[in-house]
Structure 1
C-alpha cells in the first residue's frame, strides 16, 4: 500500500464532521491494507496520527531544510516504517549527520503532501479527525467484530495497531486471545469530573475517596524481580526512576501490575507538578537526579497478582489485595457514604497541598480508556478573565471554524496585555507580549460559530493557520492551576485551561492582570 493512500484517507477523515463517514473511510482503508499485504498495525497507527516508533530523535529543527519534493508518489507504507525505524535507532558518534542524511533521503522521495504529512506524524502534530473512539469503531466495522471486544482488547494490549491486525486477520477468536501480559502496559482507567463532592456522591451509597495527587501516573509491572514502569501514555520510564523500581521490587508478590502515582515531596508536602515531571523527562544520570528530586511512590489499584488478572474483580477486592501487597504505598483513602465526612476529607486533602479527590465506586471493575461513573474526580475550580489575542483555524470536525484561542493577561503597571508568543510550528512575533496559555476546550458548536464570526471582525492578520486579533474580547477561563514555564517568556502557563463563557460585559481593561495569574503559582 502506498503512503499516499493513507494520506488520502486522513484528508477525507479530516474533511468531514460525520462520524459514520469517518468510520467508513477508515474501515475501507484497513480492509485494503489486509488485501494488499501492508502491515495493518502500522496503517492503523498512521491513520490515527500516531508514530509507531513513538520517538525517533527528529524534531522541527531536523526537518527545517528538506530536499525538493518528488513530483509523484512512490513511497510504500513498509518503506516509510522501515526508514523511520532505522532513523530511530541511530546513536553514538556521527549519528547526527547520519540521521540528517536519512531524513533527507526519505523526504526526497516524498511529494509535497507527503512531506507535510510526515512532518506532522513525526512531531506529533497531526491534525485530523481519527480520534480513538472513531478508530476503534472502524476496526470493529472493518473486521466485522463486536466493538466492545475491540475496546477490551485495546485496553489490555495498550495500542490499537496490534488489535487491528488481530481482528482483521483472526476475527473475534483472535480478540479473545488478547490478554493482560505482565511487562506490557495496558491503557489506564480514566475519571469523569464533578463540580463538587455532593454531585459525585449518591445518597446513602458508600464510595471511596482517593487523594488526587498532582504527580506522574505510573503503571508498575513486577515479574519475578524484574520491574518495568510506564507512564499514562505508555512510555517506558523504568531507567529514570530507580527508587520506584526498588519500591516495586520489594513488594510481597512474584508477579503484579499496579496503578499509581509518583510525586516529589518535601517535608511531607507535594512539590509543583513540574518538579515531579522533570524526573520522567530528564536525560541526566537517574541516580544523581534522584538525590536532587526524590520521589514518593503511591498506588491506588492492583490489576494483576501472582498469575491472577484482576481487571474484572470489584474494586473493593482489588484494594484489599493492594493493602496486603503494598501496605506502605497505598494512596490516602476514605470509605464513606456521608457527604459531610467526604467534604471534610476533600478539604483536608486541599490543605495538605493536593489537587482534590477521586470518588470511586467500590464495586466497579477496572475499565480502562473511557471516562465513566466508576471514577469521578473533584477539584476546586479556578477562573480568570483573560483576553483573546489570536485564534487558530480548526481541523477535522472543527474545520472552517476558528478554534484554539490564545489567551492574554493585563500588565497593571504598563497597561499592556500579556500575549502568547508561540504557535504550533512557528513563532508569532509581538514585541512586548509574552504567553499565558491557549485552549480549545469547553467550546460548544454554537460557541465555535459565534467566535468565528466575532474574531473575523477583530482580525488584524491571518497566515492561514493563526488569526491575530485586536485585544478586545474578554473570556472567562477555568483552569486547574498555574505552573512555571521556561518555554514562555512570561514564565507562567495555565494548566488544563477551558472556556467557561465569553464576557461581553467586560472590556479588555478589566481583564485580570499578570500578577493575578502568577498568584496561583504553587509555593516553591
Structure 2
C-alpha cells in the first residue's frame, strides 16, 4: 500500500470528532492492507513504529529534509525498511548515515507525506487514531467481537500483531491469544480519590494496601528463568539481579507477579523515589539494593488468574510471595481503611490503594476497581513546552506548560493533551539544568520565549486544587502547582486525565 493512503486516512480521522466516523475510516484502511503490512501500518497510525525511537531529532530531521516529490510513490514497506536502517545505524559515522537515509526517503515523499513522516519520527502524530479507537476499527474490519480484540491486545501487549491475527487468522486463533509466561502484559491502572474512606465507599469491601513510592515491575518466572519488566513493558532483568534472586526463591515454578520495587535505607524505611529510579535505571551495579514487593498474581503454575476475583488472587499471592507481599487489610469499615492509610504514611509510603475484593485483573485499563489515595493532590501531567527563565534563571528553561490527557477528545483530539497551567515552583538547580539540556533534544518548535517539546515527558505535580478558568480549553486551571519530580518510569499515555482534574471542581 502507498503511504499516501495511510496519510489520507489519518487526515480524515483527524478532521472529524465522530468516533464512529473515525472507526469507519480506519476499518476501511485496515481492510485494504496486505497481511505483511498490517502490523507496520498499525504502528504508524498510533505513532509507535515497531522500531521505537531511531535516534532522529528535530534538528537532524530538518537538515535532512529534501525537496518533496510531485507524485506519491512511497510505500508503507519502504518507510518500514528505512526505519530498520535508522535503528541499526550506530557507532562512528552513524549520524551521517542517518542523514543520508532521511534525505533519500524524504525526497521520495510528497509534501503531505513529509509532514506525516516528520510527525511520526518526532512523536507528534495526533490523528485521533489512538489505541482504543483503532482497536474498535480492527474489530470492525475483521468482523470480530470488540471485547475479544481488546482482550487479545491487552494480553499480547502488541496491537499490531493482534490486528494481524484478527484480520488474517481464525476466530479461534484470535481467542487463543492469552497470557504467556515471559511475555509482558499491560498493567492494571488505578483511579484516584481524596480519602481512603471515599475510595472504600466506591468499591465496597476492599483490600486496602500500602502504596509504595517505588517503580512498578512485572515479573515472569519459568523454573529458574526470571524476567523483569517495567510498566512500559521494557525488559530490565539485567539491571535488577537482587529482584531476580528473590523471585527464584519463591515456592512456585511458573508465575507472573505484579508489584513495585524500591530502595530501603539502613532502618528499612523507603529511600526517596529519585534514589530508587537511579538504581532502577542503572546498567551497572549500585550500592543501593532494590527490594521487590508484590501486590498481585496473574498466573501461577499453569493457572491463569486474571479473571479470578481479587480475594482468590490474594490467597494465592500470600502463599507465593510471603514476606514480599505488600502490607494491607481487607475491610468494609471506613475507619479501618483510614487507619491503614495513616499506617502507610507513618511508614514513609505515599498512601494506599483501595481494591475491590471481587474485582478481576483488568490488564491495561483504568477503572473504579482500584483507587489510589494520597495525602495531597498530586497528578502526573505532561510537559508541553518550557519558557526561558529570567533573573537568576536566565539561560535556563524554567516555567513548564502542563497538559492533562484527554482520552475521549472532549476538548481536542482524542488522546491529545489539554493545557491546564504553568509552574516554575519546586524546580531545583539540578532539575533546571536537566530540563535545559533535555528539552531541546525533543524540541518541535520554538519562539524567543519558549521551547515546545514532544508531549512525552511526565512530571508529578502537587496542587492545592483547581479553579474554573476560561484561559485554558479544558475550562480549569491548577491552583498553586509545584513540581515534585519527573516520572521517567511512566509513559505519557498513563498521565492523569482532564476529566479527573475537572472532578475536583466544587459544584
Q: Mind listing any 5+ residue stretches in structure 2 that lack a counterpart?
A: 380-386, 388-398, 427-434, 451-457, 489-494
Report the CA distance between 1:239 and its aligned residue: 2.2
Task: Select 1:425's aligned residue among 428, 440, 444.
Answer: 444
Written as runs of structure 1 = structure 2, the 5 A alignment for 1:172-321 is 172-202=171-201, 205-266=204-265, 267-282=267-282, 285-287=283-285, 290-291=286-287, 293-321=288-316
Structural RMSD (CA): 4.0
Stretch deviating more after TM superposition (358-367 or 50-59): 50-59
Distance in 2 of aligned mates of 1:314 and 1:159: 26
Residue 508 of structure 1: aligned partner? none
Taking the aligned partners of 2:192 and 2:50, their CA distance within structure 1 comes to: 31
Flag the 1:273–1:454 CA change in 2: closer, same or farther, 3 A: closer
2:422 is the counterpart of 1:407: yes
- Size of the aligned set, in residue pairs, is 453
What residue in structure 2 maps to residue 365 of structure 1? 360
Q: 2 CA distance for matches of 1:339 and 1:46? A: 47
Q: Give the Å deviation of 1:373.
A: 2.8
Report the secondary structure of 1:39's partner residue.
Answer: helix
Deviations 1:357-400 (A, max 9, x none): 1111222211112222321212233389xx999799x9976459
- Contact 1:158–1:185 (Cα < 8 Å) also in 2: yes
Cα distance change, pair 301–391 in 1 and its aligned pair in 2 (3 A): closer
The equivalent of 2:58 in structure 1 is 60
- 8 Å CA contact 1:28, 1:142 repeated in 2: yes
Q: Aligned-pair distance for 1:244?
A: 1.8
Q: Which residue of 2 aligns with 1:416?
A: none
Is 1:15–2:15 an aligned residue pair?
yes
Query: In 1, distance between residues paired with 2:502 and 2:410?
Result: 21
Question: Which residue, 451, 454, 468 being the options, matches 2:471?
Answer: 451
Contact 2:460–2:483 under 8 Å retained in 1: no
Q: Deviation of residue 150 (structure 1)?
A: 1.0
Residue by residue over 1:223-275, the C-alpha shift from the partner in whole angstroms, topping out at 9 and shown as x without a partner, is 22122221112122222222222222232222111111112232433233333
CA drift of 1:105 comes to: 2.8
- The aligned runs of 1:42-121 (5 Å cut-off) are 42-71=40-69, 72-121=71-120
Q: Which residue of 1 aligns with 2:344?
A: 349
Moved more, 335-344 or 90-99: 90-99
Instruction: Give 1:91 shift.
Output: 3.4
Deviation at 1:152, TM superposition (A): 1.1
Quote how far apart the aligned CAs of 1:194 are: 2.0
3-state SS of paired residue (2:181): coil
Name the SS of the counterpart of 2:216 in structure 1.
strand
Contact preservation (8 Å) 1:16, 1:397? no
Change (3 A) 1:176 1:453: closer
Change (3 A) 1:497 1:27: closer
Pairwise CA distance, 1:120: 2.5
How many angstroms does 1:107 deviate by?
Answer: 2.9
C-alpha displacement at 1:46, in angstroms? 1.4
Does structure 2 conserve the Cα–Cα contact (< 8 Å) formed by 1:272 and 1:483? no
Please report how far the alpha carbon of residue 118 of structure 1 lies from its aligned counterpart in structure 2 after TM superposition: 2.2
Match of 1:153 in 2: 152
- 1:67–1:108 CA contact under 8 A, matched in 2: yes
Per-residue CA distance 1:37-71 (angstroms, 9 max, x = gap): 45211111211222212232333344241131332
Distance of 2:474 and 2:359 partners within structure 1 = 45
Unaligned runs of 5+ in 1: 412-419, 456-473, 487-494, 504-524
Deviation sequence 1:403-422 (CA, Å, 0-9, x none):
424513589xxxxxxxx986
The corresponding residue for 1:511 is none
Which residue is equivalent to 1:6? Answer: 6
1:178 Cα deviation from its structure 2 partner: 0.7
Conserved in 2, the CA contact under 8 Å of 1:382 and 1:480? no
Whether the aligned pair in 1 keeps the contact of 2:460 and 2:487 (CA below 8 Å) is no
Separation in structure 2 between the aligned mates of residue 123 and residue 82 of structure 1, nearest angstrom = 18
Structure 2 match to 1:335:
330
| TM-score normalized by the length of structure 1 | 0.76
- The 1:454–1:180 alpha-carbon spacing in structure 2 relative to 1, beyond 3 Å, is closer
Select between 66-75 and 358-367 the one with higher mean Cα deviation. 66-75
Name which of structure 1's ranges 320-329 and 476-485 shifts more when overlaid on structure 2: 476-485
Inter-partner Cα distance in structure 1 for 2:214 and 2:330: 23
**C-alpha distance 236-61 of structure 1, shift in aligned 2 (>3 A):** farther
What's the CA shift for 1:186?
Answer: 1.0
CA offsets 1:159-186 (integer angstroms, 9 cap, x no match): 2111111111124222112121111111
TM superposition shift of 1:299: 0.9
Tell whether the 8 Å contact from 2:293 to 2:326 is kept in structure 1 after alignment. yes
Identify if the C-alpha distance between structure 1 residues 427 and 485 changes in structure 2 by more than 3 Å, giving closer, same or farther.
Answer: farther
| Contact 2:216–2:261 (CA under 8 A) maintained in structure 1 | yes
